[in-house]
Structure 1
Amino acid sequence: MTNVECRAVIIDDEAWIREGLSEHIDWKKLGIVLVKVFHDGADAFAYLKEEPVDIILSDIRMPNMTGLEMLAKLRDSASESAANDFSRIKTIFLSGYNDFKFAQEALRLGAVDFLLKPSDLVDIENALLKAKHLWTSNGAIQFKQLCSTEPTEEPGSYLIKRALNYIHAHFAEEIHLTDIAKELSVTPNHLSRLFRQDIDQSFSDYLSQMRMNKACSLLVESNMKIYQIGDMLAYTNPRCFREWFQKNTGMSPVEYRKKHT
């Protein structure tokens, strides 16, 4: 895998940003080949449907199709294409809008980093290196071992499958068992029993573990500040986030980041 070419694209509606990223990032030193540059998500999506790409460096707000819409369409198209495994593409978002709703949606869609414009080239190159590291076989294995707590077997209950889909879509929000039970038209007690029966975990434990996975991911892969990561995972109080993380890992978020990066 290490001898396979790592291919990247840039997507941004501002020409000066496209040119700056193309010309000033040392792609050769990073070991990444910049294969194409696009001015909006729609053109990029058409290209990505046909051509293999490993890393996307994209703006969020663009005409015709936003970066988030493009990534969502790629994820939806993953099962339709045998030639291109869209789920393995590593995406880094750049945005001029300091809005955590964008960051939360980017996280839910599997983005590996979210940087605010203007970002230093060093920060962007570091994000690209982390994306490349995750793209390689060894990087993917190391990361999976680092923070993998989701069940390995698919649950049998259709209701639980729907419940887990809901959690995956809303884990960055403040959600409760009653919210999911209402969505599925069942009682909270019944849904709680199904969690214990099908995945041998309580709802709260599963949600906590999923958030922990994402916290580990962001600490290792992104340059986001600790309080930003906590805020994205529904821990708006930085102290509560630190205490929760310490309780579950035995180390603070800062210590975890230093140990694994």
Structure 2
Amino acid sequence: MMRIVIAEDEAMIRRGLVETIDWAGMDATVVGEAADGMEALAVVREQTPDVLLADIRMPRMSGLDVAETLRAEGSRTAIVFLTSYAEFSYAQRAVRLGAADYLLKPVEEADIARVLAQLRPTEDSASGVSAEDSLALVGWPQADAASQTGNPYVADVLATIRSRYRERLSIDALADAAGVSASYLSRKLKEATGHTFSGLLARYRIAQSLPLLRAGRMRVYEVAEAAGFTDYKSFCQAFKKYLHESPRAWLSREGETHETL
């Protein structure tokens, strides 16, 4: 059972997460909660949870500062940030800190379930695919390497893909929001990562689909939708493009057989 700590300074949101989410149904349990960053750090040190759900902005110590401190201490707790659209200016630092994922407020139970499924270690196969393995498998650039290019626009694009990959995203809209031209942003992104925006988005979506496929709780078309693809066909096309086989063939090769697929 996964052990969860929730850090959120808004009491109503925190209580809602603790009391209304079906944690048991996700094979998880809340072992601690905190109303600010300092308290969150103390609770994580005491409980050593598998996952910390932390608001990015909290009193006394931000979620980002908590993450930075835990990483410096060698903590293996996965950190999932709770954020809003207005807080994407913090995304570059979050990427450098290796955030496991981002959840946009108001947080949906289905999104929490998806994140936990991706973070849950696989124990039934020696070839188990962790989140890091999945990203490497599809050629997603390492966060540190990308953020060290010195171009904040590139880091912001990567952070946006990671946090909003289930939405309809375009390089034009992101460039407009950043106040730069789409051609400039596309060029800098390609220089920093070796990939186009559409390629990066598809790769990240495929990476997110792998743990969902292996979990065997969803049909392929449901996995496609959860990973951000508009339809089953486009998901299969992207899967074959980047992994050179169909989702079913990949599962078969991994030694997994699920009757629901």
Seq. identity, % = 17
The one of 78, 85, 91 equivalent to 2:67 is 78
Letter in 2 for 1:147: L
Shift of 1:184: 0.8
Question: Are 1:151 and 2:141 counterparts?
Answer: yes
Question: Are 1:51 and 2:46 counterparts?
Answer: yes
- 2:164 is matched with 170
1:251 is paired with a residue of what secondary structure?
coil
Cα distance change, pair 46–75 in 1 and its aligned pair in 2 (3 A): closer
Shift of 1:42: 4.2
Mapping for residues 111-260 of structure 1, pairs under 5 Å: 111-113=115-117, 131=121, 133=123, 143=133, 147-152=137-142, 153-154=145-146, 155-221=149-215, 223-260=217-254
Q: Where does structure 2 lack aligned partners over 5 or more consecutive residues?
A: 6-17, 81-106, 257-261
Question: Are 1:103 and 2:110 counterparts?
Answer: yes
Q: Distance in 1 between matches of 2:190 and 2:30?
A: 49
Q: TM-score of the superposition, structure 2-length normalised?
A: 0.58
Q: Does the CA-based 8 Å contact 1:8-1:55 persist in structure 2?
A: yes
Q: TM-score of the superposition, structure 1-length normalised?
A: 0.58
Letter in 2 for 1:13: E
Q: Where does structure 1 lack aligned partners over 5 or more consecutive residues?
A: 1-6, 26-33, 57-66, 91-99, 115-126
The one of 16, 19, 22 equivalent to 1:13 is 19
Shift of 1:255: 2.4
Mapping for residues 81-96 of structure 1, pairs under 5 Å: 81=70, 82-83=72-73, 85=75, 87-88=77-78
Write out per-residue CA displacement over residues 174-229 of structure 1, whole angstroms, 9 at most, x where no aligned residue. 10001110121111111111122222221111111111211223223563332222
Q: Does the CA-based 8 Å contact 1:133-1:140 persist in structure 2?
A: no
Q: Distance in 2 between matches of 1:244 and 1:8?
A: 31
Q: Does the CA-based 8 Å contact 2:239-2:246 persist in structure 1?
A: yes
Q: Does the CA-based 8 Å contact 1:150-1:209 persist in structure 2?
A: yes
Which has the larger Rg?
1
Shift of 1:236: 3.1
Cα distance change, pair 236–183 in 1 and its aligned pair in 2 (3 A): same
Cα distance change, pair 221–83 in 1 and its aligned pair in 2 (3 A): farther
Q: Distance in 2 between matches of 1:79 and 1:221?
A: 31
Write out per-residue CA displacement over residues 87-132 of structure 1, whole angstroms, 9 at most, x where no aligned residue. 5479xxxxxxxxx95434665xxx2418xxxxxxxxxxxx9xx526
2:3 is paired with a residue of what secondary structure?
strand
Count, aligned residues:
202
